[in-house]
Amino acid sequence: MKNILLCMLVSASLTACTTQETKTETNAELKPHGYEYDSTANINTIKASFEDMAIHDTASYKSKYADTAVFLDNGKKMSLAENINMLSTFQSNGIKVKVSNISAIWESRFTKKDNTQGTSVVTYLTVTFTKGDKSIDVAMNQYDAFVDGKIVKEMLYYDPTSIMALMR
């Protein structure tokens, strides 16, 4: 019994210490829906947009999106201008917005039913909203569709209850 436990412990230790291979442009993982990557320019664009949001650099934030970008914030449709206005509302209410954790992020490239190519980035993240000495963490799921390096569609899903309470 001790030998079995020792073998399991050694096996678990070796697995935990093994470096994980990054799936980049050259070694993507084929999935039933297409290829998945965890290190791309589009992923870097998403991460940079999080930084822009944190420092409220709306010019840089806006540059990452197509002029006709569509936002679906918990199903509510918005334009790029409306999205930037929402971020400005947070700032004018003294609320700082910062991505505090990215649990998972990957890019998928796939062929649609009409044989056109699709590219999207999926992100599971935690966003911290801070107002004065109060701070809340909100778990979010974000989906971004890309065309020619620009975000053309962004969908966010989260529970807005605590954010609304913080805005009061």
CATH for 119: 3.10.450.50
Q: Is residue 1 part of a domain?
A: no
- The pLDDT assigned to 23 comes to 54
pLDDT in tens, 89-120: 999 999 999 999 999 999 999 888 888 888 99
Identity (one letter) of the amino acid at 100? S
The share of the chain scoring above pLDDT 90, in percent, equals 68
Q: What pLDDT, on a 0 to 100 scale, did the predictor assign at position 26? A: 52
- For residue 115, the 8-state DSSP code is S
Q: For the chain, how many structural domains are there in total?
A: 1
pTM of the entire structure?
A: 0.80
Residue linked to tokens 């700032």:
91
Q: Is position 154 within any domain?
A: yes
In a domain, 11, yes or no: no
Nearest to 50 by CA among 125, 109, 121, 107: 125
Predicted pLDDT at 111: 84
pLDDT at site 161: 94
Q: Is residue 9 part of a domain?
A: no
Three-state SS at 90: helix
For tokens 């569509």, name the residue.
70
Contact criterion met (CB below 8 Å) for 48 and 65:
no
Q: Can you tell me the distance from the alpha carbon of 61 to that of 48, in angstroms, rounded to the nearest whole number? A: 8
Do 109 and 29 contact (CB within 8 A), yes or no? no
In a domain, 88, yes or no: yes
- 21: in domain: no
Token code pair at residue 92: 């004018």
Which residues in the chain land under pLDDT 50? 1-21
What end-to-end distance do the CA atoms of the chain give, in Å?
A: 60
Residue 6 confidence (pLDDT): 37
- Per the structure, the complete domain to which residue 85 belongs is given by 30-167
